[in-house]
Amino acid sequence: MIKIAFFDTKEYDREMFDEYNKKYNYEITYYKTKLNEETAPLASGYDVVCIFVNDNANEAVLKKLKKMGVKLLALRCAGFNNVEIAKCPKGLTVARVPAYSPYAVAEHTAGLLLALNRKVYKSYQRTKKYNFSLDGLLGFDINGKTVGVIGTGKIGKIFIKIMRGFGANVIAYDVYKDIDAAKELGYKYVDLNKLYKESDIISLHCPLTDENHNLINEESISKMKKGVIILNTSRGKLINSKDLVKCLEEGRIGGVGLDVFEDEEEYFLNDMSNSYIRDVELSLLLSMPNVVITAHQAFFTKEALEKIVSTTYENIDNFFTNGKCENEVK
């Protein structure tokens, strides 16, 4: 019987993985704790370790897993920046779910933009208290504005389509240009400096790599329009949060919508309501009226969760049936 240890699981993961496991009958243990050097020994005796976005599979963890006999590290997410893949020992395969619902993330990004621009979160709180005034709720039309999209992969393209639907002009930057898509969807590739200079709204849809770590910092923000709206539903470390706070305080940024945060691991996906926030930048951002933060929920739709669960099991099944798996990360 194939044994799987799941790390960083929530009730909704356990429910869906149990439901789909009726087809496979794997022996499953769910841990609430995240995978890291300290918790890695919990994987002893398991064939598969299944992790999510905030588990840490660095070189030391990968080596420990290999030594304990783990054969497959199955990521139940697309991004693999939390796995030190170049240091992965031979004989330990890493697989991921390359796409679950790009619509979920793109739609959530549009939701963050509307919440910010039209101050939906403020009106919601007001009308609940029978305050029907419009003071402070003035927004702007997205129609006719310029949206800059960094990363035109699966999610970026859907976000572009949504923005084009609003009547926005879209300019984009990607290390690989998809000229056909640009023609079809009606957007233009530009270099980063031009994107910073011309965009009213900037949205990040690229993976986190060594090259783009802290891409958005004081220097890049200084090239942007005053009052720009910045959206990040990709990875927190794409933005230097100290610089972001500084530029918000100085009024250089109009609004920020975040589904990810530079040091989110300790906070996001956890109920911290009986605790306090020690992270100074996160505290400050949460206190700002022109910042809307959601806690890594952009992927969280029924369709995406079903796809995550079914693809994770398919990866495991492929690996143990055929000795390899299509979604291997190399």
Question: With binding defined as CB under 6 A, does residue 209 bind ligand NAD?
Answer: yes
* Nearest one of 14, 3, 87 to 44, comparing CA atoms: 3
Q: Give whichever of 73 and 182 is closer to ligand NAD, judged by the CB atom.
A: 182
Quote the CA–CA distance of 307 and 16 in Å, as a whole number.
Answer: 10
Tell me the sheet residues that pair with 80. Answer: none
Closest to ligand NAD by CB, 28 or 160: 160
Q: Which is nearer to ligand NAD, 47 or 264 (CB)?
A: 264
Is 93 one of the binding residues for ligand NAD (CB under 6 A)? Answer: no
110 binds ligand NAD (CB under 6 A): no
Q: Which position has the token pair 């893949």?
A: 85
CA distance 171 to 191: 9
- What is the contact mask toward ligand NAD in residues 161 to 190, using x (rule: CB under 6 A)? ------------xxxx--------------
Of 19-27, 63-71, 199-207, 277-285, which segment contacts ligand NAD by CB under 6 A?
Answer: 199-207
The answer to whether 203 contacts ligand NAD (rule: CB under 6 A) is no
CA atoms of 21 and 321, how far apart (whole Å): 16
Neighbours of 133 (CB within 10 A): 9
Contacts of 22 (CB under 8 A, 6+ apart): none
CB of 240 to ligand NAD, least distance (A): 15
Report if residue 298 touches ligand NAD, rule: CB under 6 A.
yes
Q: Which residues are catalytic?
A: 235, 264, 296
Nearer to ligand NAD, 70 or 150 (CB): 150
Spatial distance between the Cα atoms of 194 and 321, rounded to a whole number of angstroms:
50
Give, rounded to a whole angstrom, the gap between the first and last alpha carbons of the chain.
27
* Residues of the shown chain interacting with ligand NAD in the complex, contacts defined by CB under 6 A: 78-79, 99, 102, 105, 150-156, 173-176, 205-207, 209, 211-212, 233-235, 259-260, 296, 298-299
